[in-house]
Amino acid sequence: MSNQAIGNSKPARHVPRTRPIDRNEVYVYEAPIRLWHWINALAILTLAVTGYLIASPLPSLGGEASDHYLMGYIRFAHFAAAYIMIIGFVFRIYWAIVGNIHARQIFLPPIHKAKWWAGIIYSVRWYLFLVKEPRKYVGHNPLATFGMHFGFIWLTVFLIVTGLALYGEGAGYDSWQYTFFSSWVIPLFGQSQDVHTYHHLAMWGMVIFVIVHVYAAVREEIMSRQSMMSSMFSGWRNFKDDLPMDKDH
């Protein structure tokens, strides 16, 4: 990798290079996490496209109603992808419990640690070009953890809860979706129309998360001190230098 050379071409660090380094490659993302990540990404892509088309349908088709089932298929795709996303999310929570330490990271940001908040500020300064070098992390950097937790986990929960509430309306009073979701979510928002509006708005929140996330992943792959995109395929994090880890996350 060409940027390997850049990382190594900075001998002027204060940390002595002779310090023993036991690893230059760490197994971070276990196979189930990687599988979940890509399935989830595909499900969300499907959900955003079909969701948009539910709210603003394609131009009208002609003929008899029995000739087509376009809206039906679009809604079916939305619901099918929704269940994949929900089951995936439940599995992801399970894996956070049984998986390795990195699997827990985005669920439990160390908000009680001042050092972590300082790490966020440091990361923000790195993105604002105010510091010359990013810190080195095995898992996510503190800013990424923050974004993943508040911008992804909670947004996902919101989309699932409002989505199931909307689903319960069609499924009817005796469905579990109605009993556990529609029954309290709809009065909470006022009425069904508001739940649609906020579910829709949350979609745009997710679109923004994905834009930032994909950009950051690509950029970090090139500019940070560890591998990014390749890690989400192979599971291994490669480091571009042998300097010690910044552990506060």
Partner 1 sequence: MMESFYDVMRRQGISRRSFLKFCSLTAASLGLGPSFAPTIANAMENKPRLPVLWLHGLECTCCSESFIRSAHPLVKDVVLSMLSLDYDDTIMASAGHQAEAIVTEIVEKYKGNYILAVEGNPPLNEDGMFCIIGGKPFVEQLRYAASNAKAIISWGSCASWGCVQAARPNPTRATPVHQVITDKPIIKVPGCPPIAEVMTAVVSYILTFERFPELDRQGRPKMFYSQRIHDKCYRRPHFDAGQFVETWDDEGARKGYCLYKMGCKGPTTYNACSTVRWNGGLSFPIQSGHGCIGCSEDGFWDKGGFYDRLTNIHQFGIEENADKIGMAAAGVVGAAAVAHAAVSAIKRARDNGDKQS
Do the beta carbons of residue 243 and residue 18 sit within 8 Å?
A: no
Residue that has been written with the tokens 């008899």 in this structure? 64
Residues in the interface with ligand HEM (CB under 6 A) total: 44
**Binds 41, which of ligand HEM, partner 1, none (CB < 5 to 8 A, cut-off by type)?**
ligand HEM
- CA dist 220 and 240 (Å) reads 12
Contacts with partner 1 by CB under 8 A lie at 6, 9, 55-63, 65-72, 74, 127, 129, 169-170, 172-173, 183-184, 187, 190-194, 196-198, 200-201, 203-205, 207-208, 211-212, 215, 219, 222-223
State which residue, 172 or 244, has the beta carbon closest to partner 1. 172
Contacting residues for 95 by C-beta, under 8 A, at least 6 apart? 30, 32, 33, 36, 103
Contacting residues for 16 by C-beta, under 8 A, at least 6 apart? none
Partners of 236 in beta bridges = 27
Helices (H), 56-182: 70-98, 101-104, 114-127, 142-146, 154-171, 176-177
Do the beta carbons of residue 209 and residue 147 sit within 8 Å?
A: yes
**Binds 66, which of ligand HEM, partner 1, none (CB < 5 to 8 A, cut-off by type)?**
partner 1
Kindly state the smallest distance separating residue 14's Cβ from partner 1, in Å. 19
Query: x/- contact string, 44-83, with ligand HEM (CB under 6 A)?
Result: xx-xx--xx-xx-------------------x--xx--x-
Residues that bind ligand HEM (CB under 6 A): 33, 37, 40-41, 44-45, 47-48, 51-52, 54-55, 75, 78-79, 82, 85-86, 105-106, 140, 144, 148, 152, 159-160, 163-164, 166-167, 196, 199-200, 203, 206, 210, 213-214, 217-218, 228-229, 231-232
